[in-house]
Amino acid sequence: MSEEAKDTRRVMEAIEECDSAKFLKAADALHYADLAEIFEGLNDDKREFFSAHIDKEKFADVITDLPDTLVEETMGRLDTDEQREILDQVSDDDRVDILQDVSDDARERLLELVEPDDIEVTKSLLKYGEHTAGGRMTTHFGSIRAEMTIKEALRSLREYSDETESFSRVYVVDAKERLCGYVRFRDLAFNTWETKISSVQREVKRSILASADQEEAAQMVSKYDLFVLPVVDEQNRILGIITHDDVVEILEEESTEDMEKMAGFSGEISEETYLNTPTMTHFKRRFPWLFGLAVLAIASGIVMIKFEHVLESLFILSLFLPMVVAAGGNTGGQASTMVIRAMALGELDEGTLWRVAWKELRLGLMLGSLLGIGMAIITLFIVPMFYHEMPPAIGFTKFAAAVAISLGVQITSSTLVGSLLPIGARAAKIDPAVVAAPAITTIVDVSGMVIYFFVAKAILGL
Amino acid sequence: MSEEAKDTRRVMEAIEECDSAKFLKAADALHYADLAEIFEGLNDDKREFFSAHIDKEKFADVITDLPDTLVEETMGRLDTDEQREILDQVSDDDRVDILQDVSDDARERLLELVEPDDIEVTKSLLKYGEHTAGGRMTTHFGSIRAEMTIKEALRSLREYSDETESFSRVYVVDAKERLCGYVRFRDLAFNTWETKISSVQREVKRSILASADQEEAAQMVSKYDLFVLPVVDEQNRILGIITHDDVVEILEEESTEDMEKMAGFSGEISEETYLNTPTMTHFKRRFPWLFGLAVLAIASGIVMIKFEHVLESLFILSLFLPMVVAAGGNTGGQASTMVIRAMALGELDEGTLWRVAWKELRLGLMLGSLLGIGMAIITLFIVPMFYHEMPPAIGFTKFAAAVAISLGVQITSSTLVGSLLPIGARAAKIDPAVVAAPAITTIVDVSGMVIYFFVAKAILGL
């Protein structure tokens, strides 16, 4: 059993026994991320005990690690003095996160508790949307001036040492706070104290506007292997930094969001773990999609009714009907997954649209032909072993041809639909992940029915 | 147009015009990540020009950024001296990546070109699998001894300053290289030179075994917001570090892999961009799944044949057949996506299996009931407006009941299947993402047909 598992068990026991001394000691040994997980899993009474007895400095960290939906409730358990202490303990960006997570009323009340020293930066950070670079950045970075010596720079940095998140990059600014360059901390340590900052300073190649989407920031950090990404305003004044842990969080959020949308959800970013999300929340997020897709699926039923005479005059056609329909859904789903993921990783833009379509068209033709041939072989050699009622006027050869041709057409068209719909969605400013797998499956189900019956009717003369 | 876009265009023009001076100058302005993207998009002749004329130091970085499948071919374009230069330029972990990406023959040949100074560390790193912590780590970290003063420590670190990736954490080791603690670089800069390392040293709370899976390392860094994760052997000797950029890469690879498996791919980690992956590679990765799912889908056809008499005696049943089947596929797919993502984020373990099943069972019942009621209303009030041939012995009420009940059963069972199959797969040591959406859809398609016909037969007395 790992140390964490043991400490976790101790904390759980202490809560169970309402033993506050044991709880404090065990909680002290645990990382706030583990404590946040424990807190999430507790019921109301136990959360009450947890928040009443935990060290408030530690609780501040725990709260910043809680899912958005729990923040308001948790802050509400505390009295005004405790709330003030929490807001004072956390870093600027975490404080803003807390304020963004609560209702408008609560935000106004909590804002009044923020220390006068912090109120200005808090209000200015609140302007940025939660999912923008500005909303994600921390304002705790090291900044110095080009005309300083290393000795002066170190003295100035030392004052902020306790609260600065990362000194991997120290930014050089001019009198108007505009970003002029950076130094690595080691450049300060490995040069003489009299050296001018201007002589060790390096060029900042990449920065991002505070109003930019968080995904853009994460893609930039990921592509260029950046340590830290400075966030600037339109005048190139440095406002904050995006650090590696922000990027990791953004990437996980965005991947989860994409996956959920691809499976057909309403697709809001959810920070709560699966088990801690109330069943009702799951229900609300999944139902509207299911209902919409179910209504759409009735279209397939209408097609079946319309082609009743075809099916009734040769019922063995139903042997391959679900297969032709499903193959389209599967190829369409694969194609859309590839394209949506490529877009999320920043690989595709509108200019490459035709290359994607051309590639998927060829791929669809290849997949459709080979699968069609495979199914034709099954129809010619295996089906006759079990089915002896084929009318001689039709025969297995024609039947195999109908199956193969409809399968080929269905797969080729579904692959094209699966790859082009996400691109079209993005061009229409709709999130591409929304039109993914389930929506595409439902659409190509209908077209698959039509293609199958139509081809069968034409080739078999029904 | 951004600076990068302009430089990219200049590089492309220079390659087109075979103008080596222009190419060198334009390439020099670009980041190696951009150059790697350009290189990937070139045809053979142009890659030849690119590798012949680019500055070899820059080319070393470009090669480390190429997808695995391109590395061998690209190294093969160079003569022995150039290969030696590349292997000398790159960092230890990048060199090992190159060697892991090429065939056994090429690896042996390239290993002979590695400088004597580097050969030992290269061979020892090659022992670790490509997707383990050891295979990912870099060996360029700063390490010092507890008995040193800060002055001695800084002098010792300065020697390795050029090649060390990150000084955010400097590790304190004993005479046997065992990990005893760490200092932050700022602790060295902000204390007097005579201070002993032992008095500023902090405890290392988390490290990872070199043999551990890369995903575990990424989850640890992500959960605990670590800057750097030290990699150790069984004797707790520090071997290397995992840095933030490794984690970002791991997370992107693993998310892409999961998404592709969920869409039904053979699911190897692919580093190539969508457009640069040859159509044949896409084909090979997608075809086996499609074929397997198509064969499985014939089972649905067999069910239709078996229930031919039910469908023929009341053909209006086909109006809701595709809908009942598809609703199961959609709920099953949603459930499996939720569970697979929760497992990938480390939220679920075997102990929580029953909580997941219980939650999905309730959710399935809720979704199934509401959707069943919705469809019953459509059956009762809308269908009679268009369909006038309902046999009086059956009537729309019974028909609506059959639709609602089969839909409820289908959705509840599909939700359970979708959530339990990934958990079962993991217990059986199969990657859960493999059994996802398409496989589940195909399975519940068959059960949906059976449920629908069976319920219809029983309630309507067909």
Q: Tokens standing for B206?
A: 């988390």
Residue in A31, A189, A367 nearest the CB of B286: A367
Is the CB of residue B170 less than 8 Å from the CB of residue B188? yes
Q: Please indicate, yes or no, if residue A309 is contained in any of the structural domains.
A: yes
pLDDT at A14 over 50: yes
Closest C-alpha to A130, from A105, A96, A91 = A96
| Res. B271 pLDDT band, cuts 50 70 90 | low
What pLDDT digit, counting tens, does each position of A226-246 carry? 889 999 999 999 999 998 888
- For residue A297, the chain B residues in CB contact (below 8 A) are 322-323, 326-327
Domain co-membership, B317 together with B415: yes
Strand order in the sheet with A238-243: A208-209, A228-232, A238-243
Number of Cβ atoms within 10 Å of the Cβ of A296:
19
| Res. A70 pLDDT band, cuts 50 70 90 | confident
How large a percentage of chain A has pLDDT more than 90?
Answer: 37
Domain count, chain A: 3
pLDDT at B363 over 50: yes
Q: Please indicate, yes or no, if residue A253 is contained in any of the structural domains.
A: no
What's the whole-model pTM score?
Answer: 0.73
B240-259 residues touching A, CB cutoff 8 A = 244-245, 247-249, 251-252, 255-256, 258-259
What pLDDT digit, counting tens, does each position of B182-206 carry? 998 888 888 888 999 999 999 998 9
User: In angstroms, how far is the first alpha carbon of chain A from the final one?
Assistant: 70
pLDDT at B292 over 90: no
**Contact across the interface for B331 and A363, Cβ inside 8 Å:** no
What pLDDT digit, counting tens, does each position of A111-169 carry? 999 998 889 888 888 888 888 999 888 888 889 999 999 999 988 888 877 777 677 78
Helices (H) and strands (E) in chain B, counts: 23, 6
pLDDT at A264 over 70: no
Domain co-membership, A103 together with A145: no
The verdict on B186 touching A (C-beta cutoff 8 Å) is yes
Least confident stretch, A454-458, B165-169, B381-385, B393-397: B165-169
Query: How confident is the model at residue A359, as a pLDDT?
Result: 85
Domain co-membership, A361 together with A232: no
**Contact across the interface for A262 and B264, Cβ inside 8 Å:** no
pLDDT at B365 over 60: yes
Q: Please indicate, yes or no, if residue B272 is contained in any of the structural domains.
A: no
Query: How confident is the model at residue A269, as a pLDDT?
Result: 47
| CA–CA dist A227, A207 (Å, integer) | 12
Query: How confident is the model at residue B117, as a pLDDT?
Result: 86
Cα of A122 to nearest chain B Cα, Å: 23
Strand order in the sheet with B141-145: B141-145, B166-173, B179-184
Closest C-alpha to B235, from B210, B202, B201 = B210
ipTM: 0.71
pLDDT at A443 over 50: yes
Q: Please indicate, yes or no, if residue A341 is contained in any of the structural domains.
A: yes
CATH at residue B163: 3.10.580.10
Q: CA gyration radius for chain A?
A: 30
- Higher pLDDT: B288 or A22? It is A22
Burial environment of residue A350 by CB neighbours within 10 A (0 to 12, 13 to 18, 19 or more): exposed
The DSSP letter of residue B31 is -
| CA–CA dist A239, B276 (Å, integer) | 38
Residue in B188, B259, B301 nearest the CB of A337: B259
B414-443 residues touching A, CB cutoff 8 A = 437-438, 441-442
Q: Please indicate, yes or no, if residue A254 is contained in any of the structural domains.
A: no
Query: What is the average pLDDT score of chain B?
Result: 86
Provide mean pLDDT across the span A420-431.
80
What pLDDT digit, counting tens, does each position of B18-30 carry? 898 999 998 988 9
What pLDDT digit, counting tens, does each position of A169-191 carry? 899 999 888 999 999 888 888 88
The DSSP letter of residue B236 is -
| CA–CA dist A432, A423 (Å, integer) | 7
Using alpha carbons only, give the angle A147, A149, A153 rounded to the nearest 5 degrees: 95
Provide mean pLDDT across the span A81-104.
87
Query: How confident is the model at residue B304, as a pLDDT?
Result: 92
Query: How confident is the model at residue A288, as a pLDDT?
Result: 83
Query: How confident is the model at residue A280, as a pLDDT?
Result: 82
Domain co-membership, B147 together with B85: no
The verdict on A153 touching B (C-beta cutoff 8 Å) is no
| Res. B210 pLDDT band, cuts 50 70 90 | very high
pLDDT at B230 over 90: yes
- Higher pLDDT: A416 or B426? It is A416
Closest C-alpha to B337, from A387, A455, A454, A265 = A265
Is the CB of residue A230 less than 8 Å from the CB of residue A238? yes
Residue in A168, A188, A367 nearest the CB of B290: A367
**Contact across the interface for A252 and B252, Cβ inside 8 Å:** no
| Res. A421 pLDDT band, cuts 50 70 90 | confident
The verdict on A381 touching B (C-beta cutoff 8 Å) is no
Q: Tokens standing for B74?
A: 């690209």
- For residue B371, the chain A residues in CB contact (below 8 A) are 287, 290-291, 294
The verdict on A227 touching B (C-beta cutoff 8 Å) is yes
Task: Name the domain boundary from B129, B155, B179.
Answer: B129
Query: How confident is the model at residue B256, as a pLDDT?
Result: 77
Domain co-membership, A162 together with A89: no
- For residue A356, the chain B residues in CB contact (below 8 A) are 274-275
Provide mean pLDDT across the span A417-428.
84
Residue in A286, A312, A438 nearest the CB of B312: A312
pLDDT at B350 over 70: no
Q: What is the dihedral sign for C-alpha B181, B187, B193, B199?
A: negative
Least confident stretch, B178-192, B204-218, B261-275: B261-275
Provide mean pLDDT across the span B302-319.
92
A171 to A168, A176, A188, A221: CA distances (angstroms): 10, 13, 12, 17
The verdict on A316 touching B (C-beta cutoff 8 Å) is yes
Domain co-membership, B174 together with B298: no
**SS3 category, B403:** helix
What pLDDT digit, counting tens, does each position of A190-211 carry? 888 899 999 999 999 899 999 9
pLDDT at A370 over 90: yes
| Res. B264 pLDDT band, cuts 50 70 90 | low
Any idea which residue has 């000084």 for tokens? Answer: B167
Give the side-chain half-sphere CA count within 13 A for A444. 35
Domain co-membership, A32 together with A148: no
Query: How confident is the model at residue B269, as a pLDDT?
Result: 47
Q: Please indicate, yes or no, if residue A123 is contained in any of the structural domains.
A: yes
Domain co-membership, A31 together with A145: no
Query: What is the average pLDDT score of chain A?
Result: 86
CATH at residue B108: 1.25.60.10
B392 to B150, B398, B399, B427: CA distances (angstroms): 95, 10, 11, 52
Using alpha carbons only, give the angle A458, A412, A461 rounded to the nearest 5 degrees: 5
Task: Name the domain boundary from B64, B96, B129.
Answer: B129
Domain co-membership, B320 together with B235: no
Q: Which domain holds residue B34?
A: 3-129
pLDDT at B118 over 60: yes
Q: Please indicate, yes or no, if residue B419 is contained in any of the structural domains.
A: yes
Q: Tokens standing for B4?
A: 């990068």
What pLDDT digit, counting tens, does each position of B435-454 carry? 666 778 888 899 999 999 99
| Helix H or strand E encompassing B240 | strand B238-243
Q: Please indicate, yes or no, if residue A143 is contained in any of the structural domains.
A: yes
Domain co-membership, A184 together with A288: no
pLDDT at A319 over 70: yes
Task: Name the domain boundary from B101, B129, B157.
Answer: B129
| Helix H or strand E encompassing A241 | strand A238-243
pLDDT at B267 over 60: no
CATH at residue A288: 1.10.357.20
Least confident stretch, A22-26, A58-62, B348-352: B348-352
Query: How confident is the model at residue B190, as a pLDDT?
Result: 85
Provide mean pLDDT across the span B270-282.
71
Domain co-membership, B107 together with B176: no
What pLDDT digit, counting tens, does each position of B146-188 carry? 999 999 998 888 887 777 767 778 999 998 889 999 998 888 8
The verdict on A168 touching B (C-beta cutoff 8 Å) is yes
Domain co-membership, B105 together with B205: no
| DSSP sequence for A133-150 | HHHH-BS-EEEEETTSBH
Closest C-alpha to B277, from B68, B101, B11 = B68
Is the CB of residue B318 less than 8 Å from the CB of residue A301? yes
| Res. A272 pLDDT band, cuts 50 70 90 | low
Provide mean pLDDT across the span A50-63.
90
Q: CA gyration radius for chain B?
A: 30
